[in-house]
Amino acid sequence: VSVKTGKPITLNEYVNGMVEGQKYIYYATGKTAEAIKALPRVDAVIEKGYDVLCLTEEVDEFCIKMLRTYDDREFMSVENGDIGLDEVKVEIDKEVAEKALKQLEGKVVEVKGSGSLKNHPVCLSSKGEVSIEMEKVLSAMPGGEGAKAQKVLEINVNHPIYEKLKESLADDDKFGKIVYCLYEQAKLIAGLNVDDPTKLTDTLFELI
């Protein structure tokens, strides 16, 4: 399904509709096309004038990974750390990134800034061959629990929450709570389960 039209689309139709300067066939995975359209990184691709393929079946991304290319165009997941949009490099406060990464050790491999999330405060992207969606599928299979995506927490440096993070650097407790809520929110957006919903809601109300 095409994000632009909301209708089924073939790979050939997608390629024929690619705009000048577009290098990749963009796709996103999720349970429904509606959920995919709401993903923060889909907005960034659509804003460039590029379409995004909605992959809603569990096997879809595995097939795409096997294909790798179609008509000499590479497939690109919007979830990848670098999705080839020629974005201006955004710098995140070094202390914010290092402190957040230390708190999230074992959960993410990197914390970085993003300038393309529009109104969204945060999102998860991934590095390597195993995507977040593939992790979900494999984890549900016997013996697949060890397949983990290398997750990257992207923080919108243009969002007010980023300023609150910087302001709370000297307050370890408050900083930790904000980072915790951002990470759990990013997991929800990515379709991942929250470990402790009660803790999340309690922490959110503490910060309000």
Spell out the domain ranges in the chain: 11-77, 94-207
Strand partners of residue 70: 73
Contact 205, 45 (CB under 8 A): no
pTM for this prediction: 0.85
Distance CA 92, CA 71 (A): 38
CB 135 within 8 A of CB 149: yes
Based on DSSP, count helices (H) and strands (E) in the chain, helices before strands.
9, 7
Which fold is adopted by the domain 11-77? Rossmann fold (3.40.50)
First to last CA, the chain: 39
Distance, in Å, from the CA atom of 86 to the CA atom of 183, rounded to the nearest integer, reads 26
Tokens of 76: 């690109």
Residue type at position 126: S
What class, spelled out in words, does domain 94-207 have in CATH? mainly alpha
- CA 177 vs. chain centroid, Å, equals 21
Q: Residue 3: left if φ>0, alpha if ψ -120 to 50, beta else—which one?
A: alpha
User: Taking the chain (208 residues) in consecutive chunks of 10 residues, what is each chunk's mean pLDDT?
Assistant: 93 94 93 88 90 91 91 92 73 95 96 88 89 82 75 94 95 97 94 92 92
Which two three-digit tokens encode residue 47?
């804003």
Look at residue 158 in the predicted model and tell me its pLDDT: 92
Residue with tokens 């300038």: 115
pLDDT value of residue 145: 66
